[in-house]
Amino acid sequence: MKSVSFNNTVLRDGHQSLAATRMTLAQMLPVCNLLDSLNFSALETWGGATIDAGLRFLNEFPFDRLDALKKALPNTPHMMLLRGQNIVQYAHFADDVVEAFITVAAKHGMDVFRIFDALNDTRNMETAIRAVKKAKKHAQGVICYTTSPVHSMETFMKMAENIVNMECDSLCIKDMAGLIPPRVAFDLVSSIKKRFEIPVIVHTHETAGLGATTYYAAIEAGADSVDTSIAPFANGTGQPDTTRMLALLENHARKPDYDKETLHQIHILLKKTYNELSKFTSPENERIDNDVLTYQVPGGMLSNFRSQLKEQNMADRFDDVLKEIPVVRKALGWIPLVTPTSQIVGVQAMLNVKFGRWKNFSPQAIDIALGFYGQTPAPVDPEVKKIAMEFSGKDPINCRPADLKSPQMQSLRQELASKNLPQQDEHCVIYAMFPQEFEKHFQSKNPPPGSPPLPAPTPLSPAIAASKTKTLALTINGKQHLVTVQELGNS
């Protein structure tokens, strides 16, 4: 019997779900040699929120990070999460932008493209899948698992058929909120494996405490791979820990062989990183939370949402906002909660709590209500659709949203040229998604002539100079360097 294989998510979903996507490239590199030696079936290194967060908060250009990780992890396939026609943003883009993004990502070393649509509207996955196939890379089609009165085994099997018909190389059951019970996972995996000849991967979170046992059931049913992470960037709102999953599979005929000592070394290194990111972590994200079974909030959203509510001085309304999420979701056609819909529904729930229900309507929620994100699983509440039309002055659409988009690459190139910014395809696609952050990044690298120099660093006070230090091992361009870092406190 063939062993199940593990994908590892620690460099993407692990810190997205537990540390608001703030792990830097410098914090990743020390564990890369060890990760690469374990022979995971894939390492998730890019995509999801990492491209936005890396550029916005860490001033890292996304393709530079990918290049560095590909060099540091040369032996394991790299995997990214791609939001179909949204790429890694919240809005839909023209087909030529989606195609260009995938082409350059493949050129920079991305191997496996995990492609989903937040509404499970497979029309929004077609362009990305074709582009991946054209680049001769691995196209993995995704079913976003959720529960509602309109989601059933029949609807998921119909979507699996669509994914197979689009000639995907594999199929992923993506349970972004950790909702799928073990028996349901067993039945769904079994049904897909019996009907179709396609590798099946299962992705879940431990948010509600179901994750590891759900994986066990999926493995029993014949799943080819499951996604795990490495503690402390595991469990809670993240994926089940790799070592823990190996223990659950002890004496199982399909147990894989991943070196436990190497995993332990990675765990020790990552504990330091987790402590360094304490501003973005929370004990709330580390525990089992049964409320997710009611509110269906994904792990990555919970981690970021707590931070966002704190910034809005609404931390004390967290439970109220959670309770509003199912109300918004039902009104918008029982949409799955996965990026970007999870964030859109979360923002609208926050607005409803703060200003009164539907008194303030976000532009993105309006677009979902009017069809500009695709076909919702159920009809949008007629009254909510009417309010959306009144707010926006727009009429609903029924076509594939990208059919309304004109090609963008040429105009993007011209716009970048007019601003004296680089114009390669890598720059065009990132600028299309994050224009302000892109400009800020390159202006920081190349300040305009005559701009004031950056201020000199402030000398350390005697108290700080006497503070604790720690030595870290950093791998830069394949070479390991020991560096001493001073603890500056929380000021």
Say yes or no to pLDDT of 452 above 90.
Answer: no
Distance CA(134)–CA(271), nearest Å, equals 41
Output the 3-class SS for 228-277: EEECCECCCCCCCEHHHHHHHCCCCCCCCCCCHHHHHHHHHHHHHHHHHC
**28: nearest Cα among 489, 473, 411, 401:** 473
Instruction: Estimate the crossing angle of helix 62-72 against helix 425-433, to 10 degrees.
Output: 120
| CATH superfamily, with its number, for domain 290-398 | Conserved carboxylase domain (1.10.472.90)
Mean pLDDT of 187-206: 98
What per-residue string of b and e applies to 388-403 under the rule 16 or more CB within 10 Å gives b?
A: beebeeeeeeeebbbe
Torsional class of 21: left (φ above 0), alpha (ψ -120 to 50), beta (otherwise) = left
- Give the HSE-up count for residue 67: Cα atoms under 13 Å, Cβ half-sphere: 10
- Owner of token pair 């001085």: 313
pTM listed for this prediction: 0.87
301 pLDDT tier (thresholds 50, 70, 90):
low
Q: Which two tokens stand for residue 248?
A: 């659950």
The domains of the chain are located at: 5-284, 290-398, 404-445
Could you report the per-residue pLDDT of 380-410, keeping only the tens digit for each? 999 999 999 999 999 999 999 999 999 999 9
pLDDT tier, 411 (very low <50, low <70, confident <90, very high otherwise):
very high
At a CB cut-off of 8 Å and minimum separation 6, what does 423 contact?
413, 416, 417
Write the DSSP assignment of 376-428 as a string of letters: -SSPPPHHHHHHHHHHH------S-GGGGPPP-HHHHHHHHHHTT---SHHHH
pLDDT of residue 96: 98
pLDDT surpasses 50 at 325: yes
- Give percent above pLDDT 70 in the chain: 89
Q: Which tokens in the block code for residue 88? A: 């890694």
Residue 99 has pLDDT above 80, yes or no: yes
Decide if 352 contacts 324 (C-beta within 8 A). yes
Mean pLDDT computed over 345-372: 95
161 CB-side CA count, 13 A: 7
96's enclosing H/E stretch is: helix 95-107
Element (H, E) at 464: helix 462-465
* Residue 25 pLDDT class (50, 70, 90 cuts): very high
pLDDT(464) > 80: no
Res 299: pLDDT: 58
Fold category of 5-284 in CATH = TIM Barrel (3.20.20)
Q: Which of 84-88, 443-447, 455-459 has the lowest mean pLDDT?
A: 455-459
How far apart CA 141 and CA 113 sit, in angstroms, is 8
Q: Kindly tell me if the per-residue pLDDT of 461 is higher than 60.
A: no
Q: Do residues 99 and 352 touch, judged by C-beta distance below 8 A? A: no
Mean pLDDT of the region 282-300? 80
pLDDT band at 1 (very low <50, low <70, confident <90, very high): confident
With the C-alpha atoms ordered 144, 148, 149, 153, is the resulting torsion angle positive or negative?
A: positive
Q: Confidence class of residue 306 from pLDDT cuts 50, 70 and 90?
A: confident
pLDDT attached to residue 466: 35
Q: Are 221 and 189 in contact (CB under 8 A)?
A: yes
Q: State the chain's maximal CA–CA distance in angstroms.
A: 70
Nearest alpha carbon to residue 329 among 305, 290, 294, 304: 294
Say yes or no to pLDDT of 293 above 60.
Answer: yes
- Tens of pLDDT, residue by residue over 104-137, are 999 999 999 999 999 999 999 999 999 999 999 9
Mean of pLDDT values over 168-190? 97
The mean pLDDT value for 221-245 works out to: 97
Using the predicted structure, report yes or no on whether residue 468 has a pLDDT greater than 70: no
The pLDDT, as a whole number, for residue 449 is 57
Equal fold, 5-284 vs 290-398: no
pLDDT, residue 489, reads 38
Helices (H) and strands (E) in the chain, counts: 22, 10
At 308 the pLDDT is 78
Let me know the angle formed at the C-alpha of 239 by 236 and 240, rounded to the nearest 5 degrees. 85
User: CA–CA separation, 368 vs 124, rounded Å?
Assistant: 14
Average pLDDT, the chain: 90
Q: Which two tokens stand for residue 437?
A: 């952050």
CB proximity list for 62: less than 8 A, separation 6 or greater: 46, 50, 51, 54, 55, 430
* H or E element, residue 115: strand 112-115
User: For residue 290, what pLDDT is reported?
Assistant: 82
Supply 69's token pair: 């990780």
Segment 148-152 mean pLDDT: 96
